[in-house]
Amino acid sequence: MNYKKLILGLTVLSLGVSCADAESSAPAERGSLDLVMPGKADDYFSNVSKEYEVKGAIEVAMTAEEFEDVVVREQLIASRISAVGVYLTTYLTDKFRGIDINGDGTIGDDEVFFRNTEYGGFKAMVRNHSTEVLAIEGQEGRYVVEFTIDVAGPNNLLELLLADGAEQGDFGVSKTLEMPAGARSDQSGAPIRSFDPKTYAGELEQVVLEYTTLPEVQDAYPAYRDFMQDGRFEITMVFGHDYNAARYDLIDAREAFDALVADGFSAPVARFEDLRPDSGPFQKSIVSYRPILESCEEDHVVAKVNDPFLTETELEEMGLRSDMRRNLLAARAGADGKFGTLDDLEFKSLREIDQVRMIGPATLGKMTQWAAPSCQTRQVEVRVDVRLFHSDMYVGSRAEQREQTIYELVKRDVFFYNGHAGPYYGLYLDAEYGAYIDHTEFASLPLDPDKQQLFVAQGCQTYSQYADMLYANEAKNEDNLDVITTVNYSYARGTMDLFRRLVQTDPYEPGVHEPATFNAMITELNAEQVNDHYTVFYGVIGIDQNEKLAPYAIAETVGQECQAHTECGDTYSGNVCAGFSDGVNRCVARTSAESGCPEGTNYAWVAGDNWVLGGVCWSM
């Protein structure tokens, strides 16, 4: 649908993103919204990288018998196309000589990363598991397979390829890739850091590839309401082992510890050195808003029963006798009788709680009655739990480290992996690989199909397959998992900035959660000085189905006349009061994209003279 577009102007007395210290004055009051000329906000938001589709055709040698066997045929085809992906990444990827791992001031031969630094190098790479077979033609012995594969790189990748000898083709920009003749994929021997057709002694094969830009994905919000619906926002940061002499993993983990304390989180231990695997989370409370009230009592009871810090005293306050309390806690601990392991039972409804021995309708009634006072308002207190883990916490117990990492990945709303990564790699957790989790293992992890999650792959070139290795799990897809990735080499910068964006509160409404969009988070990551200088290219995969309308927006108030923002909704991050050209103030709802606007409403930007607040849905 084509909407008539207006630009709404926002005038404010003071606005900033920095945190004020305790002695600073309170922020100035928010100003009014007014109409300005159309077109003011064009192209305000931008990305540093794009995704491209690469189309080509390659010969696959197969006998008639191999072709008729579907499994064998698919394996042979996948092996050849994967080889194209490996050598395409070899051509496109950013390259550098090496790293001084041992800190002696020089790069020794065993510290050289790339021996083909003069070949290609466009700060781009292939998404390994994005291949799609379009057609198969030919006959016994010689089949031609037409395919596509996705690539991410700089916004001007096509122009860079044209400057390197590419031509404008029918499908897009055409460039011939050279690779060893008949090459098949061999992940263990992938020559990304050594192959150069100019120095290769064997026979070469030429594959003509055509590149075109894929449609841009609309901005969206993380699944905040799902993350917080149980009254907890659970976030884990795992710092993988660093093989460099400086041990940046410990430096980064310590910085995270100090930052959390500085941000007002209560720490589970007094010093960073005292952190243990069972120390528990850093904690802080923020205010969120429920989307609906109808199931509030049940949601509140279920959330309380699932709280990892639930005590018998709290169950007694809910009306449970001692035998009921013991039975419920035992049921929650699972078959191994130990809470905090993968076989824990997480209740999803009152019906499931009713299955616990000695608990029946009368007890459930008491529990919902206990929850009733908390359901008189949409406002709800959310406890943010943050857990930190690093390699040195598990010296001598790598099996425990591996098990704990998997548990955290399965159970938490947001999982940060900060560590070494790359194509055909997994989670590198210790120097001896005793806790290592290979990329092929993610398909069989006990992930929850009903749980919305965000995975932050803060390592080198995680665009390669870190989203797809999770999507290979039957419980996960783009509907319930978003993944933040990097195209080039990461320097682990911006982790705490991203975390702060996820849990940020409104400076005008102290303690009230202010949802940030992915655009805001990714833009900030890419603008960080080191990330910008080294063109890390952060991006996010899986947000097409995410909410576009602001999580705390009330659509029903859009178009209602108003005199103040508070008349339009619970929070400024959801609804605001805007002045229209007819002189009437009306409520509008915040949105990250036009597709988030409810039926019957229109889309516009809220803008000031030289900046944009964001998009809104409006009606007159």
Residue 364, both tokens: 């459930």
Query: CA 342 to CA 444: how far, in whole Å?
Result: 13
Give SS3 for 448.
coil
Phi, psi of 566 (to 5 degrees): -65, -15
CB 372 within 8 A of CB 297: yes
Instruction: Name residues whose C-beta falls within 8 Å of residue 554's C-beta, 6 or more positions apart in sequence.
Output: 568, 569, 570, 574, 575, 589
Instruction: Give the count of beta carbons closer than 10 Å to the beta carbon of residue 313.
Output: 8
Question: Taking CA 241 as the corner, what is the angle to CA 235 and CA 242, rounded to the nearest 5 degrees?
Answer: 120
Q: Which of 453, 498, 458, 502 lies closest to 478, judged by CA?
A: 453
Give the pairing type, strands 173-180 and 575-579. Answer: unpaired
Beta-bridge partners for 414: 235, 454
Separation CA 455–CA 297 (nearest Å): 30
Q: How far is CA 617 from CA 11, 162, 216, 244, in A?
A: 18, 41, 21, 50
Nearest residue to 472 (alpha-carbon basis) of 428, 426, 503, 435: 426
Counting residues of the chain whose pLDDT is more than 70, the rounded percentage is 90
Which contiguous run of DSSP H or E holds residue 390?
A: strand 379-390
- Rounded Cα distance between 359 and 365, Å, is 10
Q: What is the 3-state secondary structure (H, E, C) of 272-283?
A: HHHCCCCCCCEE
CB 300 within 8 A of CB 318: no
Q: CB of 300 within 8 A of CB of 229?
A: no
At position 322, the amino acid (one-letter code) is S
Q: Are 176 and 98 in contact (CB under 8 A)?
A: no
Q: What is the pLDDT of residue 12?
A: 26
Rounded CA-CA distance 358/197 in Å is 73
The confidence score (pLDDT) of residue 5 equals: 31
Structure tokens belonging to residue 126: 């292939």
| pLDDT for position 373 | 83
Q: Cα Rg for the chain, rounded, in angstroms?
A: 27
**114-140: buried (b, 16+ CB within 10 Å) or exposed (e) per residue?**
bbbbebbbbbbbbbbbbbeeeeeeeee
Q: Is the Cβ–Cβ distance between 517 and 221 less than 8 Å?
A: yes
The pLDDT of residue 188 is 53
Instruction: Report the run of H or E that residue 180 belongs to, with start and end.
Output: strand 173-180
Does residue 599 sit in helix, strand or coil? coil
Amino acid occupying residue 523: T
The tokens describing 524, both together, are 């900030």
What's the confidence (pLDDT) of residue 41?
A: 29
- pLDDT by residue (tens digit) across 272-331? 999 999 999 999 999 998 765 557 888 889 989 999 889 999 999 999 999 999 999 999
Quick one: pLDDT at residue 360?
87
Whole-angstrom Cα distance, residue 106 to residue 486? 27
Q: In sequence order, which ranges of 457-494 are alpha helices (DSSP H)?
A: 466-471
> Please, which residues bridge with residue 469 across strands?
none
pLDDT beneath 50, residues of the chain: 1-46
Query: In this predicted structure, what is the pLDDT of residue 297?
Result: 87
pLDDT of residue 37: 29
Instruction: Quote the pLDDT of residue 319.
Output: 92
The beta-strand segments (E) located in 268-343 are 282-289
DSSP per-residue letters across 570-585: S-TTTEEEEE-TTS-E
Sheet holding 575-579, edge to edge: 33-36, 6-10, 602-607, 612-618, 585-591, 575-579
Write the pLDDT tens digit of every residue in 335-350.
888 888 888 899 999 9
60: tokens are 């696959």
Q: What is the pLDDT of residue 113?
A: 85
Phi, psi of 368 (to 5 degrees): -70, -30
